[in-house]
Structure 1
């Protein structure tokens, strides 16, 4: 007989499982199982086209699944069997695929791998990669398997950044994402990562066809004029530690991070030398040699003022917790606030290094000696492979010319 809703509702549970089979010849093997608990479940029995064994697949519980819907599902399943598909095996394979999918590396895993790769090479950009991972990329996208990330997904990340007017930051995020996917593509063939990474199954780089927001980054052009230098030197609109950090950058011509992360152990005031270790230099991947910065009376006066102000035993410019040095962002924020309060034309802490280079040139110092004072890597064969002279004598003389001329420019104003 054909099953009816009433017959299924009236079926009483017994001590053991029993089945009510549907006499509807349209879909053979269809019926309902009645369990001792009273649960009634639709099923379809069939002979597997793969191994010839009798099998049974569940089609849902009554009454959550109606008899009509169960018959439709049974007809679809029977059609699959007739075309050579075993629904039990297909379900098992689907579960296996989903489990394997969960083991695939996500975009978050890929960016973590890229940041770790940068950290192994001592690259400071690793911190920025970790920062943009949490700030600029939606959690849902980070959780997606990396090989499923599309060009449109990348555009969905970059477009809001660019539309906020942050074109260069948008291009920076794009560059990090592109480099991360390139690493994911090649990690299996790299001795560093072979067998140590998740399976990303990346076959192409979805960032490769995404255009940049700007054709090229504008080159830094800003340097402070003599009047602006005098204004900055005597300002009271900055906190004392941040003011002293800016003055030390200008007075030494060194990089912002080299100044902010400096430790007192690097300074020998008796010998009037600041020895920046090779591992703290920007070109540390090309040389392990320290950079020797000669100090004059002006620098020593600044250092004494810094010591009196911050009083930290290890760092010249400690963080608020005292557990490490100040970060570049904190100085950048201070400068931004200072510009708003002073009305001075916009500049960044890095522009003070360019100011040193420019103004020292106007004082008659050659480009070569300015480059050596600032620790620029010289790329000619002689400098790279043969010249091991430290030029300290020449640098001392040049730094003295610089500080004396700077003092004249400041018209004798005190620190």
Structure 2
């Protein structure tokens, strides 16, 4: 290995020459010192790529000391051996969610593309280990500048989870050898980015009967057919979770009921949730069958094998509300429809336990969790039929 004394003693020759700072593992590269005929001594990180030698200049001695050069060389080695880019990290996280059957997978993929990949094409090509808090800040700041509020916290949470996955992949002794990419992460850069707490107030907005009726009457003319029928189906079904409903493929829509694979919670805790049809739900499904009976998802997006994106649905609801402030003086979101249905089903005479079962809430007492295997299909069917009758009387029928 080189020493400062050896470097100082090296004399220039007619042709430049290099001296290695010792050997390293195959493929990692090595620190070399180039001595030019004019006496200049430069440090390089040298590695092989195929038959070629690739050199990266680190600095000039003695401005850059031998110790500092070794530190820089070590950083370069980490970048070479850690070949996973920021884009690779995002893709790997989406793949993980998809493999787990997480309901959020499609939405996360959309968010990464819309808020990161498309507006920051150069950033996603950068090694993940070089993406720091400043880059994450710029991503979130751009969203805020465009008027995005609560969802910037959602993206922050997605990014935090993606980097945590990358850290676990690099340091998990049981799985790192099987990983296709190493990200070279030592910390999670998202941890330094604060949550915008004032945009995380608990929701309490529920539409009144008059507002829900106004929304229902607007749907056919103001939104696309698929979006309108999906919102009708969500309301008629008692406020199912839209991300779970959209993730349910056609084969889960049976003759008289829908099977939703609840994808909340960790693997092993997800359960099937059966939702019987009422007449309003069947009417929406019939309208979608007139569009296509072969699409992978009944409520399909632009392409037959793609579902409608929940974020697109959320944006459509927000825009509809903003265009009709005379009907909806207080803003509401897609999430508020679930709360609205929960509230108004109580007005329609459904007790809380039945409303909880219709919406697929889990019951965590010992009896329900371990012993109760009754599916409550008849009770839910009766409750949803009663809900449909109440909607027809108070919401779906235009007031003359």
Give TM-score scaled by structure 1 length. 0.70
Residue correspondences, number = 353
Residue of structure 2 in register with 1:316 after alignment: 298
Deviation for aligned residue 1:355: 1.6
Residue of structure 1 in register with 2:211 after alignment: 228
Question: 2:22 & 2:318 partners in 1: Cα distance?
Answer: 71
Deviations 1:278-303 (A, max 9, x none): 3x654584555432222233333343
Deviation for aligned residue 1:251: 0.8
Question: 1:74 & 1:118 partners in 2: Cα distance?
Answer: 51
Q: 1:172 aligns with which of 154, 158, 163?
A: 154
Structure with the larger RCO, 1 or 2 (CA within 8 Å, 6+ apart): 2
The residue correspondences of 1:136-147 to structure 2 (distance < 5 A) are 136-137=115-116, 138-147=120-129
Deviation for aligned residue 1:369: 0.3
Deviation for aligned residue 1:402: 1.5
Residue of structure 2 in register with 1:274 after alignment: 257
* Structure possessing the higher radius of gyration over alpha carbons: 1
Tell me, which stretches of 5 or more residues in structure 2 are unaligned?
A: 1-7, 24-31, 44-59
- CA gap of 1:339–1:119, structure 2 versus 1, over 3 A, is same
Deviation for aligned residue 1:110: 2.9
Question: 1:292 & 1:164 partners in 2: Cα distance?
Answer: 40
Secondary structure of 1:293 counterpart: strand
Residue of structure 1 in register with 2:172 after alignment: 189
Deviation for aligned residue 1:363: 1.9
- CA gap of 1:139–1:371, structure 2 versus 1, over 3 A, is same
1:338 equivalent to 2:311? Answer no
Question: 2:128 & 2:110 partners in 1: Cα distance?
Answer: 19
Residue of structure 1 in register with 2:53 after alignment: none
Deviations 1:19-62 (A, max 9, x none): xxxxxxx9984443xxxxxxxxx43799x9989xxx995527xx
Question: 2:61 & 2:232 partners in 1: Cα distance?
Answer: 78
Question: 1:108 & 1:252 partners in 2: Cα distance?
Answer: 38
Question: 1:80 & 1:306 partners in 2: Cα distance?
Answer: 72
Deviation for aligned residue 1:358: 0.6
The answer to whether the Cα contact below 8 Å between 2:41 and 2:61 also exists between their aligned partners in 1 is no
Question: 2:150 & 2:203 partners in 1: Cα distance?
Answer: 13
Tell me, which stretches of 5 or more residues in structure 1 are unaligned?
A: 1-25, 33-41, 61-69
The residue correspondences of 1:352-363 to structure 2 (distance < 5 A) are 352-363=337-348
Deviation for aligned residue 1:156: 3.1
Question: 1:141 & 1:398 partners in 2: Cα distance?
Answer: 52
The answer to whether the Cα contact below 8 Å between 1:59 and 1:74 also exists between their aligned partners in 2 is yes
Residue of structure 2 in register with 1:103 after alignment: 81
The answer to whether the Cα contact below 8 Å between 2:222 and 2:320 also exists between their aligned partners in 1 is yes
Question: 1:49 & 1:231 partners in 2: Cα distance?
Answer: 76
Deviation for aligned residue 1:371: 0.7
1:245 equivalent to 2:230? Answer yes
Secondary structure of 1:208 counterpart: helix
Deviation for aligned residue 1:197: 4.6
